[in-house]
Amino acid sequence: MMSCILVFYLAIFGILPQAPDADALYARRDQIASARQATAIWSQRLQTNPRDFEAAWKLARAQYWLGGHAPEAERKALLEAGVESGRSAAIIEPSKPEGHFWMAANMGALAESFGLRQGLKYRGAIRDALLNVLTLDPAFQQGSADRALGRWYFKVPALFGGSKKKSEEHLRKSLTYNVNSISSRFFLAETLLDMDRKAEAIAQLERVIETAPDAAWIPEDREFKQHAERLLATLKQKR
């Protein structure tokens, strides 16, 4: 009885500990433990309410991040779970882009990281989901669908629909939504380099290095800047 009264008075005076903020935890995702905590919170929310759209797409986003940064043995399972979380979000709110995009992002990471079979399995589904995002909201996350499609056309062999020309077109389109997108410029540099346009690629890499990280994407932007520095150093050595 006394414990119930104590809890009551603590609640009145605002002394009870606050529940962890999943968004704040995810903002510190470069610390894997923090990313795991956010993932656990959104997972619990979705288990409690399978119609929780926000929990579903944020869970898919967190699983995508962990799928690229957790210990190697965990990554494939995390990305596969991310596909399902994204699919759940897309089913809950089919007219919103978040579920479609993060489902595609997790599929894309599986296709890039786990061999030809994964690439063939998800090739069409990735493109379809991203085209769906373009239909729903082409400006979503500063042109993220065009950015991802640019990557898709770059990575997929020409025999299966890939095209360096279309990759460049989509990446340049994504830059119309955010001219300072570090990820779009880095991907564009790789595409240009593959098209034997080395000088243009170097100019894009230099722009990546000079650009300040976006406040919402600091961990990702820092990684792209590091990749750009390494690639630029390699290219300059070959001059």
**Phi/psi of residue 39, each to 5°?**
-60, -45
Indicate whether 30 and 61 sit together in one domain. yes
The DSSP code for 180 is: T
pLDDT of residue 132: 98
pLDDT band at 236 (very low <50, low <70, confident <90, very high): confident
Residue that wins the pLDDT comparison between 122 and 51: 51
With beta carbons less than 8 A apart as the criterion, state whether 153 and 176 touch.
no
What's the whole-number average pLDDT of the chain? 92
Check pLDDT > 80 for residue 233.
yes
Indicate whether 221 and 108 sit together in one domain. no
Least confident piece of the model among 8-22, 142-156, 162-176, 213-227: 8-22
Q: Is residue 8 part of a domain?
A: no
pLDDT of residue 4: 44
Q: Is residue 9 part of a domain?
A: no
Indicate whether 154 and 231 sit together in one domain. no
Indicate whether 58 and 107 sit together in one domain. yes
Q: Is residue 15 part of a domain?
A: no
Residue where one domain finishes, among candidates 133, 160, 187: 160
Report DSSP letters for 84-104, one per residue: HHHHHHHHH-TTSHHHHHHHH
Q: Is residue 2 part of a domain?
A: no
Q: Is residue 165 part of a domain?
A: no
Name the amino acid, one letter, at 144: S
Over residues 68-121, the pLDDT tens digits come to: 999 999 999 999 999 999 999 999 999 999 999 999 999 999 998 887 777 778
How much is the average pLDDT of 24-28?
98
In total, how many domains does the chain have? 2
pLDDT of residue 5: 54
Indicate whether 156 and 186 sit together in one domain. no
Q: Is residue 171 part of a domain?
A: no
Indicate whether 142 and 221 sit together in one domain. no
Q: Is residue 166 part of a domain?
A: no
Check pLDDT > 50 for residue 217.
yes
Residue where one domain finishes, among candidates 128, 160, 192: 160
Q: Token digits for 7?
A: 């809890």
Indicate whether 150 and 190 sit together in one domain. no
pLDDT of residue 7: 42
Indicate whether 26 and 100 sit together in one domain. yes
Residue where one domain finishes, among candidates 107, 125, 160: 160
Which range of residues forms the domain containing residue 235? 178-239
- Look-up of token digits 């493109």: 127
CATH number at residue 80: 1.25.40.10
Indicate whether 41 and 122 sit together in one domain. yes
Indicate whether 128 and 203 sit together in one domain. no
Report DSSP letters for 106-159, one per residue: HHHHHHHHSHHHHHHHHHHHHHHHHHHHHHH-TTTTTTHHHHHHHHHHHHS-GG
pLDDT band at 239 (very low <50, low <70, confident <90, very high): low
Indicate whether 184 and 149 sit together in one domain. no
How much is the average pLDDT of 52-78?
98
Check pLDDT > 50 for residue 11.
no
pLDDT of residue 15: 53
Indicate whether 126 and 49 sit together in one domain. yes
